[in-house]
Amino acid sequence: MSILTDSAAQRSSQWRFGIVAGTAYETPRARTLVIEVPGWGGHRLGQYVDVCLRSVDGTWTARSYSITSPPQGALLTLLVGKSDSGGMSRHLADMLEKGDRIALRGPLQRVSVNMTYLA
């Protein structure tokens, strides 16, 4: 059974731009990004977004990040852990600044753990 309406599912699959409203280092290697997404309709616990950046050579790269803000929050927050040789996480963790535009799509399906495997 799908909980998403057709229009919500369509909106989630489309790329759109958000604006970085703030950032905060939680540790030297992990940074929270606060993103304002016009028309963001909320999300459910466990959902994630795909974030897309354009490199200087013009190519686009997408990576997934779990949503850490409360489901009804107006702002979206992501917690990015830096991989030393990872292109996207280093950029998001070190270089993104307040006011930057960021392309994203979502919210995308929930990540859940099947507890029977843990028993």
Ligand X SMILES: Cc1cc2nc3c(=O)[nH]c(=O)nc-3n(C[C@H](O)[C@H](O)[C@H](O)COP(=O)(O)OP(=O)(O)OC[C@H]3O[C@@H](n4cnc5c(N)ncnc54)[C@H](O)[C@@H]3O)c2cc1C
Among 8, 22, 86, 105, binds ligand X (CB under 6 A): 86
- Residue range at the interface with ligand X (CB under 6 A); choices 33-41, 52-60, 69-77, 78-86: 78-86
Asked if 55 touches ligand X (CB under 6 A), the answer is no
- Residue range at the interface with ligand X (CB under 6 A); choices 2-10, 13-21, 81-89, 99-107: 81-89
Burial class of residue 30, CB neighbours in 10 A (0-12, 13-18, 19+): middle
Distance CA 68, CA 24 (A): 13
Asked if 62 touches ligand X (CB under 6 A), the answer is no
